[in-house]
Structure 1
Amino acid sequence: MDRIDEIDVKILTLLQAHGRMKRNRIAEEVGLSVPSVSERMRKLEERGVITGYHAVVDPKRLHVDITAFIRVIVDGSSYFPGFVERARELDEVQEVHSITGEGSHILKVRTPNTTTLERLLSTIQSWPGVHGTSTSIVLSTFKETRALAVQPTELFYPEAETV
């Protein structure tokens, strides 16, 4: 059975904090050889634990000043696949989640200004099955991360991808 052990936890924690960390430095930190660290990283990638390596870009430096969360009400599950597909195609949409409570989906979006946000909302509201939206604009962000607190565990392999 696939397992994440203490050494994998250390490697994942280091990579989440310092994605460009050299393998020889990781090897020093975890007490293994570079080939051993490389093999563990390869296996973590193959098992889908590590899904990519990305640069974190400051949106404000690129004049993308508006972050907003848009709750969307989609009429009926028959519209969900089309809605999700359209949302995935928009560059401004950073996250798409199916939710409980008010609305059926929530989107995290970033746009340069309120004019582009209004245009995006108009686009989303025109999609088949979209009954309504409710938007909250972020004023300040105090924490934003994708890092997980990793613990030794058995790996989970979902039977089917959820939509």
Structure 2
Amino acid sequence: MEILDEFDIKIIKELEKDGRMPYSSIATTLKISNTMVHQRINRLLEHEIITGIKPLINEKKIGYDWGTFTGLTLNKDQDSNRIIEALKKIPEVTECYYITGSYTLYIKMIAKDHEHMRKLLYDKIDNIPGIAKTDSMIELGCAFKRNISL
């Protein structure tokens, strides 16, 4: 699937309003069959156009008041796959990106407080073999986060 048609876009927009919306409600709203909605959503998932229908957790509401964006400088860029696997084992690392520029990887971490963040940085991240340096910026809140407009 290379191009989304008008029904794919409409289905995605309905799911963005409420990911728990029953497929039958989407079908009724769009005046299409329930089967068509099921088939379209399965195809969108299969082709990874949508990567799942899951809750978005408000981290601050569950006690994670600190966030950082941290650039990682590696001793050798070819170690990135091994380092990514080590980062995946740290639940507080919620995102990891390959980037260009001064760093090889860029991660987002969340922590309950400054002491928790210090332990994450010094005891976990800095102890991953192959990480030469970290450079963190404290996140003060998300102004907005959204999907690309269809």
1:1-163 mapped onto 2 (5 Å cutoff): 2-122=2-122, 123-145=124-146, 147-150=147-150
Kindly report the root-mean-square deviation, in angstroms, between the aligned alpha carbons of the 2 structures: 1.5
CA offset at residue 42 of structure 1? 1.8
Q: Secondary structure at the match of 2:55?
A: coil
Q: Quote the Cα distance in structure 1 between the aligned partners of 2:67 and 2:102.
A: 20
Q: Quote the Cα distance in structure 1 between the aligned partners of 2:67 and 2:104.
A: 20
| Aligned residue pairs, count | 149
Q: Secondary structure at the match of 1:69?
A: strand
1:139 maps to amino acid? L
Q: Quote the Cα distance in structure 1 between the aligned partners of 2:134 and 2:102.
A: 10
Q: Quote the Cα distance in structure 2 between the aligned partners of 1:100 and 1:139.
A: 24
2:5 maps to amino acid? D
Q: Secondary structure at the match of 1:3?
A: coil
Identity of matched residues, %: 26
Q: Quote the Cα distance in structure 2 between the aligned partners of 1:48 and 1:71.
A: 27
Would you say the 8 A contact 1:75–1:129 is kept in 2?
yes
Q: Quote the Cα distance in structure 2 between the aligned partners of 1:100 and 1:45.
A: 29
TM-score (normalizing by structure 2): 0.91
What residue ranges of structure 1 are gaps of 5+ in the alignment? 151-163
Q: Quote the Cα distance in structure 2 between the aligned partners of 1:135 and 1:41.
A: 38
CA offset at residue 40 of structure 1? 1.3
Would you say the 8 A contact 2:66–2:112 is kept in 1?
yes
Would you say the 8 A contact 1:79–1:128 is kept in 2?
no
Would you say the 8 A contact 2:77–2:104 is kept in 1?
no
What residue ranges of structure 2 are gaps of 5+ in the alignment? none
TM-score (normalizing by structure 1): 0.84
Q: Quote the Cα distance in structure 2 between the aligned partners of 1:148 and 1:16.
A: 11
Q: Quote the Cα distance in structure 2 between the aligned partners of 1:61 and 1:95.
A: 19
Would you say the 8 A contact 2:97–2:107 is kept in 1?
yes
Tell which has more relative contact order, 1 or 2 (C-alpha 8 A, sep 6+). 1
CA offset at residue 71 of structure 1? 0.7
1:128 maps to amino acid? P
Q: Quote the Cα distance in structure 2 between the aligned partners of 1:144 and 1:42.
A: 25
